[in-house]
Structures are given as structure tokens and as C-alpha cells.
Amino acid sequence: MELSEQLAAWCADGSKVFPSASIKRAEAAIADVMGCVLGGRNEPAVIGAGKITPDDGCGRSSAVTHKRPISAPWAALINGCAAHALDFDDNFFPPVTHASASLVPALLALAEEIGTRPVEVVHAYIAGLEVEAQIGKVVNPSHYESGWHATSTIGAIGVAAACAVLMKLGQEGILHAISIGSSLAGGSKRQFGSMVKPMHAGFAAMHGVMAAKLAGAGVTGVTNTLQGKWSFEELYAGSGDLGVFSPEMFPAARLAIDEYGLVAKLYPSCMSSHLGIDAMLALAEDHVFALEDIKAIDIHMPEFMVANLRYQTPVSSSEARFSMNYCAALALVHGIPRMSHFTEQALTDKKVQRLMPLVQMHVRQILPEAASLPWGGDCEARITLSDGRVLEHQAIYPKGCIQNPLTEEQQRIKFTECARGNTSGADANGLFERFSNFSQVAALDSVAQCLRA
């Protein structure tokens, strides 16, 4: 079986029952990203997407920019963009995608349109993650390192498969949804720091819904688009170092959501900055020193992390999220980075401004023991003080990963911080509880209404 066929067959297996632990992980991810959707609803990119969306009242899906329901593809676009607008949403490895930011908005929008139950959304979400993981094993690290934003490429295909599962299209329909999704895949990391970057999650969500709906309408494509001549693998990752996919092991392997988990962010910035932030927070907690005594801050990370954090002197909140200089200085001055730290006013903080030029990033050779880490390596950080002391810390497991998870209280605080004033009158704590137990919610109406403007 070619990969597309194997994924379609796996997704279409109606006898598959996911473990309760997998379902709880999925529900935690759904709650996390729905907080991000609410928190990002007023961001410029989201408002812009809302302006071009038809408001004819003919749809059934809720969007954060509209009072009346709209069509599912447009709702997926808007809510997907909102989910990723703060760069506070989770990361998923090995595809290196912001998986939940596209999967959840797409599945919710489609579920509202076709009238499916929340428990079916959770099942389709886990299936979509699995598709993204297996494709990621084939094309990464070359795909991501060459500049593709996998959220918008691999993500579009994973969302297409998940939506086809939700629509119960069967093996053939899922196969063609994957095929159509592969033709909608696109998006460069060149957009990092711009308003288009969060649109990538929206594009993946919208395109996934479109691909599944087209497959459901009888549109068919080539069945083996992921491997072979002119395939996704050859065109998007053929010139570099490719991963290894074992067809014979895939069906019996652990679910990707259990093997890799999702990295739920504690900081609203690019994932590549998180090990550096973790290191700064650890050094500040473990040692006593004055900020005025810092002479140098050296952060050693894998090359792709350094490349992602390319704004040494950010001039906007979006650029600040992709600046190790800003994030490291911020962590030393204020502690855990919060949403309020990524504003134009926060960028003018004099203490942070003084430390930013002292931060230097260095490409770190990936050590053998770190090479197997799904996020691609570790971080070695050093702070040199005026008295000659050199403080060092190695950060390996980013806060929020399966080995270093957020506590339930941290999850709740993050959700309520994002949702505060953005829930259309709904109680934030009550919403968190419902999203955290999404499989048990009787109907989508009770949670979807919080999205409407």
C-alpha cells in the first residue's frame, strides 16, 4: 500500500476505539486552542479575514468576527487565524505543525454545518493528528528546514483527512480528500512575524474543509499524491534529509498523540524561543544576580531555531514573538512572558531594551542524546556577569511537552487569560470545563455560541 492508501484505510476503520488517555489529551488540546481562538479574535489579521467573508446569514457555522452563522470554510479560515494569531497555540511533532490551530476550527465549523456530535469531533481530531504525524515522518526534517511552514502544508492534508472522517466518507472518500488537500498545501516560513503567518493556520483549516467537501461531492484525484514522481514528498522535501516511514509498523504503533503528545505553550511566542525562555527563567530562579550586572547572554540552539528567531530588534508585537533577544530579556525582567508583554507599548520597556543587545544566538550542534527529541534538539544558555561569574543552564524539555506538562491550574489560567472579555458573555471557567470534557458535551450549540461576535 502507498502511504495515502494506508492512511485512508486507517482513518476509515470504523471499529477503531481510541484509549481514554488519548481522548483526554485531545480534550486538553481542544480546550487550549479554543482559549487561543478567543484570545486572538481581535487581532488585525482576524479582523481582515472577517471583512472579506460573506455575511449573508446562509451558513450554520460560528466565527469570532460575525454575529450570524456563516459557511463552514469561511468560519474555519477566520477561527483558524484567530487560533494562531497570538502564537500561543500548541505545537505538534514530528510534522512540526500547529496542528490544533487548524484541526479544531475546521472540525468545529464543519460539525456545526453537518450536525455531528462533539465526541465525533474528538475522534476526527485524533485521526487528523495521526495523518500529520505519519506524513511528517516521511518529509521531515528536510521539509521544514527548507522553509515550508508545515502548519499550512502538512496541516492542510491532515485537516482534509480529519474532515473526511467527520463526514464519514469511507476509505475512498478519505483517500481523495487527502489527494485534494495535497494540491492545496502551501506556505513559506518567510511570513514569520507578519499577519500572514497566522493566516497559514486559517488556510489549512479552510482548505481541509474544502477538500473534504469536494471529495464528498464526488471530486476525485490521483490516489498516490504523497510519494513517488512529482509527489508531495519529491516536490516539498526531495532534495534534503528525509525521515523514515515504516509502513509495516504504522498500523500497530502507538498513537502519535500518546507517543509525542502536543506541546501546549505557556508563553505566547514562537516555539523556537521556548527552550531559551525556560533557560532564562531557570537561571533567574537558581542564582542571585542584578540585571545591571549582566554583561552577555549567549544562547546556543539548533540552526532551525536560530533561523526562526530572526528579529534581533523587533519593532512590532508580531516580530517580538519571533525574537530571542526580546523573549530572553523579557523573561529575565518580568518572569513568565504573558500576552500583555507582546504589545507595542511593552516593547519600549527600558529594562528589556537594555538587555536585548546583550543576547547573542549561536548555532549549536545537535548532540546525539538530543537528536531524538521530537522538537529537534536542546538549548545551552549562559549568562556572563560583571564579577566574572558564568551561569549556565541546559534546557531539554520545553514547558508544556509530554515530559514537562502544564498543570491543570496553568491550563485554566491560560484559558481564562485568553478568554477574559472575549467570550460573548459566557463564563470563562465554565467554558474551560466544557472544552476540557468535550466528548461529554451533548451538543455543539452550548460551546459554539461563545465564538460569535
Q: Which of 114, 125, 116, 113 is nearest to 26 (CA)?
A: 125
Tell me the range of 199-213, 358-372, 419-433 where mean pLDDT is highest: 199-213
Q: What is the per-residue pLDDT across 314-357, written as a single tens digit (0 to 9) for each?
A: 999 999 999 999 999 999 999 999 999 999 999 999 999 999 99
Query: Rounded to an integer, what distance in angstroms lies between the CA atom of residue 453 and that of residue 34?
Result: 15
Identify the sign of the CA torsion 87, 88, 94, 97. Answer: negative
**Residue 220: C-alpha distances to residues 5, 106, 168, 180, 307 (Å):** 14, 21, 16, 8, 39
Q: What is the per-residue pLDDT across 419-450, written as a single tens digit (0 to 9) for each?
A: 998 987 779 999 999 999 999 999 898 888 89
Q: Is 349 exposed, middle or buried (0-12, 13-18, 19+ CB in 10 A)?
A: middle
Query: CA 151 from chain center: how many Å?
Result: 7
Query: Rounded to an integer, what distance in angstroms lies between the CA atom of residue 398 and that of residue 263?
Result: 8
Q: What is the per-residue pLDDT across 98-118, written as a single tens digit (0 to 9) for each?
A: 999 999 999 999 999 999 999
Please give the model's pTM, rounded to 2 decimal places: 0.94
Percent of the chain with pLDDT over 70: 96
Nearest 5°: the CA angle 405, 409, 411 is 60
Please say if the pLDDT value at position 238 is more than 80: no
Q: What is the per-residue pLDDT across 114-134, written as a single tens digit (0 to 9) for each?
A: 999 999 999 999 999 999 999
Bridge partners (DSSP) listed for residue 70: 61
Return the C-alpha cell found at 310.
Answer: 530572526
Please check whether residue 7 is in contact with residue 158, taking contact to mean a CB–CB distance below 8 angstroms: no
Q: Tell me the residue type at 205.
A: A
Q: Tell me the residue type at 371.
A: A
Q: What is the mean pLDDT of residues 269-297?
A: 98
Residue 336 has a CB neighbour count (10 Å cut-off) of 13
The continuous run of DSSP H or E covering 452 comes out as none
